[in-house]
């Protein structure tokens, strides 16, 4: 019998295939273990919330429903809310002040039920936030009372918001916008809403400013209408108008214009027309000379003050006010001469310059000065004093000149060669029907108001005098004349010599008139010597005694007062 060989105890190699079988089994085991572990971990999220879960601002990660409720309840115990107000003021409302308590209405449970436990790994790094239904509640009456007691609602501590506005005018700078003042008046409804939301979220701090809980100004500094208003007002007040009145100036600038402007109910800037009109009226009152007395250094060496008449500067107030308003609205500064209705020869108190006619109604003698030089002087006959037709004193302007005019009245039509009106229908003209002039003829046999001149003198005056020349008519006691003339020689008359005044000749040895006009020199030429000749042997014959001459405008057949020449 053969002896069996013993079995070797040496292990055999498994080879590559064998290792693969064993390795595969290990991975499967590991995977299985991992899966079981994942499932096991996921199973807990049936009872607790995923990692990184925030519920109404609280960290609910891996907390159960009861733990979340406990956390909510713990947050309410000792809860207080700090309220930050304007002016660095803070106030506190406690949970106990408003009857605050937790409320569990199933919202937490519902949120947990919606979790999918097997998705827990997604939330390891991913946060999820939930805002669910109210978890706390408070007593509304206690809440309202607590909010109302806040010091920010005390009237003595409240400053009302102020709209942005236009500043007062500042000389040399104009207007600017004053920024709005926000004040600190809280809006009760917004404050309550803001605090309620903070309480419900269990916040510990809330800012009324950040929560926009204050009442706001309605108009801010960048308001388009406000910006436009300031721009317009500054355009008006930046204007400077310099008025020229000879060597005098009136400067109108923003210091005055600022009192005339404003903003109307329609929100638009305006310029007061009535204020502009009043200003122009003031200029007229100051610089118009048409109604002001004129001082004349007469050819008799005496000074007279002449009132009345229509001569002088006169501003067209309506036209100038319209012009000035337009200038101010345009914003364009300028130097300006006002619009005049009537102009004079020069500026100043005595505005008649050095070309004028001086008419002494007392002496019945006139002088015509042109550029300060005496051109002519002559006797004349003025309005009939006895019939109330006296030629009025005053300063007038020669209206125009006309050759071969016909003067008309109630009972006459008289042709004249030279007609030069200066006061309505009163004027200078030749009087061919008269043989004598000057003296006291005017007292009983004068004209209807005109100044009757010797024909040669009327011609000389007509040829040398331009229109608009001032005519200064005045009375000067003490210059009454005893003589008459025919235009070249004098005749002594005694019937009308004043008993109380000395006789004077009509041609003085003194210098010609000196005026106060600032731009003219006083006349210096003496009256011609020919007018001073007297012939006492000739007696004046009144015009009334000559029927051939009764048709003249200086003669009347009736004692009834008539109108002056030139009147139909």
Nearest 5°: phi and psi at 254? -60, -30
Give the Cα separation of 125 and 251 in Å (integer): 81
DSSP 3-state of 25? helix
> 198 and 72 in contact (C-beta within 8 Å)?
no
Give the Cα separation of 8 and 183 in Å (integer): 106
> Which residue matches tokens 């006459």?
412
Give the Cα separation of 250 and 243 in Å (integer): 5
Give the Cα separation of 380 and 365 in Å (integer): 6
For 7-71, list the strands marked E by DSSP: 53-55, 58-59
Task: Determine which one of 152, 365, 448, 450 is catalytic.
Answer: 450
* C-alpha distances in Å from residue 314, one per residue of 222, 365, 366, 396, 426: 48, 29, 27, 13, 22
Angle, to 10 degrees, between the axis of helix 273-287 and the axis of helix 317-330?
130
- What's the token pair of residue 188? 């009760």
> 407 and 565 in contact (C-beta within 8 Å)?
yes
Task: Determine which one of 152, 429, 448, 473 is catalytic.
Answer: 429
Q: Determine whether 152 is an active site residue.
A: no
Give the Cα separation of 451 and 550 in Å (integer): 17
Give the Cα separation of 365 and 460 in Å (integer): 15
Q: Determine whether 448 is an active site residue.
A: no
Q: Which of 229, 216, 242 is nearest to 163 (CA)?
A: 216
DSSP 3-state of 145? helix
User: Which residues carry out catalysis?
Assistant: 429, 450
């Amino acid at each position: 019998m053969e002896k069996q060989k013993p079995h070797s105890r040496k292990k055999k190699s498994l080879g590559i295939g064998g290792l693969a079988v064993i390795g595969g089994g290990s991975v499967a085991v590991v995977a299985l273990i991992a899966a079981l572990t994942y499932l096991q971990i996921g199973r807990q999220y049936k009872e607790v919330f995923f990692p990184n879960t925030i519920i109404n601002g609280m960290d609910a990660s891996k907390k159960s429903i009861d733990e979340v409720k406990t956390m909510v309840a713990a947050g309410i115990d000792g809860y207080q809310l700090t309220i930050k107000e304007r002016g660095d003021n803070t106030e506190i409302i406690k949970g106990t002040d408003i009857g605050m308590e937790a409320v569990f209405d199933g919202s937490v449970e519902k949120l947990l039920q919606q979790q999918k436990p097997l998705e827990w790994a997604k939330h390891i790094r991913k946060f999820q936030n939930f805002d669910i239904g109210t978890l706390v509640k408070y007593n509304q009456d206690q809440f309202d009372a607590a909010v109302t007691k806040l010091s920010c609602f005390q009237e003595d501590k409240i400053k009302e918001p102020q709209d942005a506005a236009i500043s007062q005018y500042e000389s040399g700078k104009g207007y600017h916008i004053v920024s709005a003042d926000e004040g600190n008046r809280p809006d009760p409804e917004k404050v309550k809403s803001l605090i309620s939301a903070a309480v419900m979220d269990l916040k510990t701090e809330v800012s009324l400013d950040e929560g926009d809980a204050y009442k706001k100004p309605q108009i801010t500094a960048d308001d388009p209408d406000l910006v436009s208003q300031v721009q317009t007002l500054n355009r008006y007040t930046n204007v400077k108008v310099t008025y020229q009145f000879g060597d005098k100036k009136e400067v109108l600038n923003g210091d005055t214009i600022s009192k005339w402007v404003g903003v109307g109910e329609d929100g638009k800037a305006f310029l007061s027309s009535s204020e502009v009109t009043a200003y122009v009226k003031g200029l007229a009152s100051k610089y118009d000379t048409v109604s002001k007395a004129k001082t004349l250094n007469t050819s008799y060496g005496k000074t007279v003050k002449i009132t009345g008449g229509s001569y002088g500067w006169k501003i067209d107030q309506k036209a100038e006010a319209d012009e000035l308003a337009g200038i101010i609205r345009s914003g364009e500064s300028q130097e300006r001469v006002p619009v005049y209705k009537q102009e004079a020869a020069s500026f100043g108190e005595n505005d008649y310059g050095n070309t004028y006619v001086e008419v002494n109604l007392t002496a019945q003698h006139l002088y015509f000065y042109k550029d300060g030089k005496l051109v002519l002087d002559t006797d004349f006959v003025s309005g009939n004093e006895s019939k109330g037709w006296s030629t009025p004193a005053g300063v007038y302007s020669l209206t125009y000149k006309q050759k071969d005019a016909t003067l008309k009245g109630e009972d006459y039509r008289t042709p004249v060669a030279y007609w030069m009106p200066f006061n309505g229908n009163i004027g200078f003209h030749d009087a061919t029907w008269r043989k004598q002039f000057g003296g006291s003829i005017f007292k009983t046999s004068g004209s209807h108001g005109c100044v009757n001149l010797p024909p040669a003198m009327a011609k000389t005056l007509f040829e040398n005098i331009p229109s608009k020349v001032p005519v200064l008519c005045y009375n000067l006691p003490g210059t009454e004349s005893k003589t008459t003339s025919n235009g070249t020689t004098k005749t002594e008359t005694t019937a009308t010599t004043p008993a109380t005044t000395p006789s004077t000749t009509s041609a003085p040895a003194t210098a010609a008139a000196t005026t106060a006009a600032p731009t003219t020199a006083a006349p210096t030429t003496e009256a011609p010597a020919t007018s001073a000749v007297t012939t006492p042997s000739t007696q004046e014959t009144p015009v009334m005694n000559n029927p051939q001459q009764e048709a003249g405008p200086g003669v009347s057949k009736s004692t009834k007062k008539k109108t002056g020449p030139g009147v139909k």
